[in-house]
C-alpha cells in the first residue's frame, strides 16, 4: 500500500498526523537547514525526542527534512543537523545538497536517505546517480512532471518514488527558484523560507481589499471577499501587455485524489502532504481524508472514486480555496 507521509511543524501537528492515520511524519529543526524556516516553527531537540517517542510507540515513522543548500561557511550546521537526526534514531533524512548527502552516507551508512523535492531530480539518470553515489533509497519527485512522465520514471527508477498528493503549490522549480531571492535578498534555497515573514506586509484598505507586499513591492491586491493565498511572488498578479492577471502561477493547492488509482498501479511508494507551516487542525483534516482515500483505493482500485466529502474537506483548507491536478494533468507534456 502507498505510504502516507504527513507534515508536522510542531508536536501537536505530529500527534494529529499520527492519530489520524499517517504512516510517516516529516519534521524539521528550528533553523535554516530545512525549507520551512519560519519564526516559531519546527522542533528543538527536546520536542523532536518527544515526537520520535510518540510516533514510534504507535508504529509511525519519522523523517527529518534537511533539505536546504549549505554554503561553505555554514556547512557545519547542516552536518550537525544530520548528526542530531541520526542521534535521535529517525527513520530517514530528506536531503537535497550533495555535500550533505555525501557526509550523511559516509558517516551513517545504515541511515535511510531520501532525495528531497528540492533536489529536483526528474529523470532516471539523475535518480541513478543519487542512488549510486549516496545510496539514496527513495526520491520525492518535483511537481513539474505530468502523470505520463511520472509513469515512465516509475518504470525506470532504480529506487522507490514518493509523489505529492496534496498541498500548496509553488512555481515548481524547486531548489532553483530565485523569485523570492530577487525580491527579498534572501534565497529560500539557503535560508529555508520563501517570502520570509520579515519581508511580508498585509494591509487592508478602506474598501475591504487586501494588499500584499513583499519587501515593499506590491504583489497582489485581493478584492473584498476574494480568497487569498500565500504572499509569494510566483502567485502575484502582474500587468502583462496591458492585462493584470496571475502571469506565473495561481494561488492553488494540488489535489491528486482523482489519479490515486494510477499512482498506485504504477507502484508509487508514498504519497506526500505539503504543509509543515500549517496548524494541527489542517494536519488532522488532510491526514484523515488521505488515509480514507488511500485505504479505499487499495481495496477497490478499479471502482475507486474520490468522495465529494473528501474533496470538500480538501478544498476548504486550500490556498485560494481551489485545487488542481497541477502538472499531473498536462496533456502536452
Partner 1 sequence: MINSLIYPKIPTLPSLPVSLLAAPVTLLPEKFHATAISKLLNLLLESALQEGELDFLDGQSVSVEVIDLKLRFALSLEHERLVARPWQGQDDLNLRGHLYDFLLLASRQEDSDTLFFQRRLKMEGSTDLGLEVKNLLDGMDMESVRFHKPIDFALQRSVGVYSRLFQH
83 near partner 1 (CB under 8 A): no
**Least distance (Å) from partner 1 to the CB of residue 270?**
23
Q: What backbone torsions phi and psi does residue 234 show, to the nearest 5 degrees?
A: -65, -25
**Least distance (Å) from partner 1 to the CB of residue 194?**
13
Q: Which three cell numbers stand for residue 332?
A: 502536452
144 near partner 1 (CB under 8 A): no
146 near partner 1 (CB under 8 A): no
Q: Which of residues 228-247 bind partner 1 (CB under 8 A)?
A: 228-229, 231
**Least distance (Å) from partner 1 to the CB of residue 76?**
26
Provide the residue count of the chain: 333
Using the minimum distance from each CB to partner 1, give the nearer residue, 91 or 255: 255
Q: Applying CB under 8 A, which of residues 1, 39, 217, 240 lies at the interface with partner 1?
A: 39
**Which range, of 81-89, 106-114, 149-157, 323-331, touches partner 1 by CB under 8 A?**
323-331
Q: Which of residues 244-263 bind partner 1 (CB under 8 A)?
A: 250-252, 255
320 near partner 1 (CB under 8 A): yes
Q: Which of residues 166-225 bind partner 1 (CB under 8 A)?
A: 196-198, 200-204, 210, 222, 224-225
Q: Which three cell numbers stand for residue 131?
A: 542512488
**Which range, of 75-83, 264-272, 296-304, 309-317, touches partner 1 by CB under 8 A?**
309-317
- CA 233, 239, 244, 248 torsion-angle sign: negative
Cα dihedral 185, 187, 192, 195 in deg (nearest 10): 50
Q: What backbone torsions phi and psi does residue 240 show, to the nearest 5 degrees?
A: -130, 120
Residue with cell 519519522: 62
User: Smallest Cα–Cα separation from 215: which of 197, 235, 240?
Assistant: 197
Q: Applying CB under 8 A, which of residues 149, 181, 279, 307 lies at the interface with partner 1?
A: 279
**Which range, of 72-80, 108-116, 238-246, 272-280, touches partner 1 by CB under 8 A?**
272-280
Site size toward partner 1, by CB under 8 A: 53
Using the minimum distance from each CB to partner 1, give the nearer residue, 80 or 250: 250
CB distance 101 to 121 below 8 Å: no
Distance CA 6, CA 257 (A): 15
Using the minimum distance from each CB to partner 1, give the nearer residue, 142 or 196: 196
Using the minimum distance from each CB to partner 1, give the nearer residue, 156 or 315: 315
Q: Applying CB under 8 A, which of residues 162, 174, 274, 319 lies at the interface with partner 1?
A: 319
Using the minimum distance from each CB to partner 1, give the nearer residue, 33 or 318: 318
Q: Give me the residues that bind partner 1 (CB under 8 A), please.
A: 9-13, 38-41, 47, 196-198, 200-204, 210, 222, 224-229, 231, 250-252, 255, 277-282, 285, 311-313, 315-325, 329
Amino acid at each position: 500500500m502507498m505510504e502516507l507521509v504527513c507534515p508536522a511543524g510542531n508536536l501537536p501537528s505530529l500527534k494529529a498526523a499520527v492519530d489520524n492515520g499517517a504512516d510517516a511524519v516529516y519534521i524539521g529543526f528550528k533553523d535554516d537547514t530545512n525549507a520551512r524556516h519560519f519564526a516559531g516553527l519546527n522542533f528543538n531537540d527536546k520536542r523532536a525526542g518527544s515526537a520520535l517517542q510518540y510516533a514510534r510507540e504507535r508504529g509511525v515513522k519519522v523523517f527529518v527534512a534537511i533539505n536546504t543548500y549549505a554554503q561553505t561557511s555554514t556547512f557545519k550546521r547542516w552536518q550537525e543537523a544530520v548528526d542530531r537526526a541520526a542521534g535521535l534514531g529517525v527513520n530517514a533524512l530528506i536531503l537535497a545538497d550533495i555535500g550533505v548527502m555525501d557526509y550523511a552516507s559516509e558517516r551513517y551508512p545504515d541511515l535511510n536517505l531520501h532525495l528531497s523535492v528540492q533536489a529536483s531530480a526528474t529523470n532516471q539518470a539523475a535518480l541513478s546517480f543519487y542512488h549510486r553515489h549516496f545510496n539514496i533509497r527513495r526520491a520525492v519527485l518535483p511537481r513539474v512532471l505530468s502523470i505520463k512522465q511520472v509513469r515512465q520514471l516509475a518504470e525506470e527508477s532504480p529506487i522507490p518514488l514518493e509523489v505529492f498528493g496534496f498541498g500548496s503549490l509553488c512555481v515548481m522549480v524547486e531548489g532553483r527558484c530565485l523569485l523570492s531571492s530577487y525580491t527579498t535578498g534572501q534565497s529560500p534555497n539557503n535560508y529555508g523560507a520563501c517570502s520570509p515573514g520579515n519581508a511580508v506586509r498585509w494591509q487592508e484598505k478602506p474598501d475591504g481589499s487586501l494588499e500584499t507586499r513583499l519587501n515593499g513591492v506590491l504583489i497582489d491586491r485581493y478584492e473584498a471577499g476574494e480568497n487569498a493565498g500565500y504572499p509569494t511572488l510566483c502567485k502575484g498578479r502582474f500587468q502583462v501587455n496591458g492585462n493584470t492577471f496571475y502571469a506565473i502561477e495561481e494561488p492553488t493547492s494540488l489535489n491528486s485524489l482523482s489519479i490515486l488509482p494510477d499512482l498506485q498501479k504504477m507502484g508509487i511508494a508514498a504519497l506526500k502532504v505539503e504543509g509543515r507551516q500549517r496548524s494541527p487542525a489542517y494536519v488532522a483534516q488532510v491526514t484523515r481524508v488521505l488515509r480514507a482515500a488511500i485505504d479505499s483505493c487499495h481495496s477497490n482500485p478499479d471502482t475507486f472514486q474520490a468522495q465529494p466529502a473528501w474533496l470538500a474537506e480538501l478544498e476548504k483548507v486550500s490556498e485560494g480555496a481551489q485545487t488542481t491536478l497541477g502538472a499531473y494533468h498536462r496533456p502536452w507534456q
